[in-house]
Amino acid sequence: MPSRTVSEFALEPAQAERLANLTGPFDGHLRLIELRLGVEIANRGNVFRVDGPEASVNKAERLLRALWDEAGDATLTEPDIHLHLTEYDADQTLAQDIDPQEVTIRVKRGTLRARGANQARYLHAIATHDINFGIGPAGTGKTFLAVAMAVEALNEARVQRLVLVRPAVEAGEKLGFLPGDLTQKVDPYLRPLYDALYEMLGVEKVVKLLEKNVIEIAPLAYMRGRTLNDAYVILDEAQNTSIEQMKMFLTRIGFGSTAVVTGDMTQVDLPRHQKSGLKDAVEVLRNVNGISFTFFESRDVVRHPLVARIVNAYDARDATDAQTGS
C-alpha cells in the first residue's frame, strides 16, 4: 500500500469567479480529477485540501495550480480537464499505485455498486479512462455496468448522447433471409442493449430518447466516417469485429467522449480464418497509456451459479482440445 499524505494550500489571488471556473459546475472538474488520480479534494474558498497516496497528492496539487493559472484567462471545460489529465498521465507508475475508489451508479432502479473486486476495478477504470475494454465470459456484468455508467453520465449531463453499437454478425441465419427492412433485420442483434436501457430508464423514457436521437442504437457499420464528441459510446460483442472494424470504431472517439468495448473471446462467430478485432486490439493496445483493460473470469459471473460451472466446463474442454490439437 502506498503511503498516504495530506496537502493543504491556497490558490492566489482569491477570486470567486476564478474559483467557480476551476471547480466546474457542481464541482464536476474536481470530481474528475479525484477519480483519475485516486485522491480526495476538498476546498473552503480558495484553500484546498488534497488527501491520498503521496505521489497522487503531489500530482493533484501541481495540476490544480496549473489550472488555477489558466482559469484566470480562459473558461475551463471538461475536455480541457481531460487534456490536462492526459498530459499528467505520462507517469504510468502512478496508476499502478492507486487503489480503485468505490464507484456508485445512480439510475432509475436505485444505486448500483460493484459486486467483487474485478467489477470495482472495471467501474473505476471506466470513470478514469476515455477508452476501456471489458473482456470475459457472459454474466460478469460487462455490458450491464457499462450501460449503467452511460445512463448516469447522460442523467448528469456529462455527455449529450449515448451511442450503443453491436456488430451484426450472422450466426447460423443469413440477414437477407430474415423478414422486414434493414432496421427490423438488425434489431434482434441489438436487443440486449435495449433490455439494459429499459431496466435503467424505463421503456417510455427510452422510447422518447430514441425518438430525439439522444440515444442511438446502431450496427457497427453505421459508425464509419463519424466523429463522436460529448458522447458515451459502447461497443458490445466486440469479439465479432474484424481488425479493420475495431480500428475504425476506436478512431471515432472525440473530445468529451468515453468509449467502452466489451466482448467474450470464447464466443467468436467470425469465419475461422478471420482474426477477431478484439483479440488484435488486446495485442496492439495493451500497453497504450490512457486505455484500460479489465479481464473477467468465471469466478466473476454474477448470474445463476450454474453459469460459472458451465463456463469452467467449456474452458476445460477447450484447453484439452488445444493440447491434443483437435
Question: Are the beta carbons of 216 and 163 closer than 8 angstroms?
Answer: yes
User: Which segments within 58-172 are labelled E, that is strand?
Assistant: 105-107, 110-112, 131-135, 161-166
pLDDT of 182: 47
| pLDDT, tens digit, 9 for 90 and up, residues 66-106 | 999 999 888 998 877 877 776 665 444 334 444 555 666 77
Q: Which domains does the chain have, with CATH numbers?
A: 4-97 (3.30.1370.10), 111-324 (3.40.50.300)
Angle, CA of 214, 217 and 222, to the nearest 5°: 110
What is the distance between the alpha carbons of residues 39 and 98, in angstroms, rounded to a whole number? 9
Q: What's the pTM? A: 0.66
- pLDDT above 90 covers a percentage of the chain that reads 39
Cell of 237: 460483442
Question: Whose CA is closest to 122, among 137, 111, 135?
Answer: 135
Q: Is residue 186 very low, low, confident or very high in pLDDT (cuts 50, 70, 90)?
A: low
Cα separation values, 235 from 4, 137, 267, Å: 37, 16, 15
| pLDDT, tens digit, 9 for 90 and up, residues 5-34 | 999 999 999 899 999 999 999 898 998 898
CB-based contacts of 124, cutoff 8 Å, min separation 6: 35, 100, 101, 103
Mean pLDDT of 214-242: 89
What average pLDDT does the structure give for the chain?
83
pLDDT at residue 301 greater than cutoff 80? no
What does DSSP say about strands 47-53 and 40-44: parallel, antiparallel, or unpaired?
antiparallel
